[in-house]
Amino acid sequence: MSLRYLPSLAAVAAVAAIASGAQARELRVCLDPNNLPYSHEDGSGFENKLVEIVAREMNADVKYVWHHQWRGFVRKTLRANLCDIIPGIAKDSERVRTTRPYYRSTYVFVTRADALPVRSFTELLLSDGKIGVQLIGDDGINTPPVEELAARGLKRQMKGYMVWGRKPNAGAPLEEIMRGVADGEVDVAIVWGPAAGYFATREKAPLTLTAAPADEETVTPMAFSIAMGVRKEDEALAEELDAVLTRAEPEINALLDEYGVPRVPEPTVASGGRG
């Protein structure tokens, strides 16, 4: 064969690179860059590690799309086609198609270890102490504990801590409420389980966590099943993720244990809502 018909090494390499690129799969995932224990741009959140497990099982590479999880997060990311997956979505959310849940957690009462634990909302009626709560905003949309305390006439005892940091790089926003208990700023706080479990071991004063009782009647649920969210039309992707989450369940449970995520059993009948 004439040498003129032999491809150069550079051409061979180029063709190989194109072929390799065509075969490579990319999972575009939207996460908050500063939202521990869930996610962080340095990869230290448990949702970062969950995504890596999922990508490995799907033989894919992860491409992170960083966006602060403030109002309009789903609309500005997933619905804008900037990414294909958002972890940490409440099961059956109306805004997205959700996968099977990979954990179910609950709000917990957080007290100092040297104080009497709080075991229910009813017990809070017997005290005039300060109660720390997580706030989403000032326009009427707030967390379930805020709604419950307001319904029980305890609004004046509440001290709010924003779920989202006012400054993107000002430490871990979700730690502030836990530090408020440790420092004695509030007597008790009602915190979503994953954040409470993670930060409880990182405060200077020992803290006690007590799950909100499942049999106490409240105006909104206090426990929620958490899944991944995809666009509503991405049924095939959701089914693929379901299979991966099922297959990797033991590894995912070990990851959640590592981060101190408190879990409660899935209900026989879905309760809806979001934590």
pTM of the model: 0.86
Q: According to the model, what pLDDT value does residue 5 have?
A: 39
Instruction: Name which CATH class applies to 24-103+223-258.
Output: alpha beta
Spatial separation of the C-alpha atoms in residues 218 and 104, rounded to whole Å: 18
Spatial separation of the C-alpha atoms in residues 31 and 45, rounded to whole Å: 10
Q: According to the model, what pLDDT value does residue 7 have?
A: 44
Write down the CATH superfamily of domain 105-211.
Periplasmic binding protein-like II (3.40.190.10)
238-267 per-residue burial string, b: 16 or more CB within 10 A, e: under 16: bebbeebbeebeeebeebbeebbbbbbeee
Report residues of the chain scoring pLDDT below 70: 1-23, 137-141, 165-170, 269-275
Q: According to the model, what pLDDT value does residue 19 have?
A: 46
The CATH 3.40.190.10 portion of the chain extends over 24-103+223-258, 105-211
Q: According to the model, what pLDDT value does residue 131 have?
A: 98
pLDDT in tens, 142-154: 899 999 999 999 9
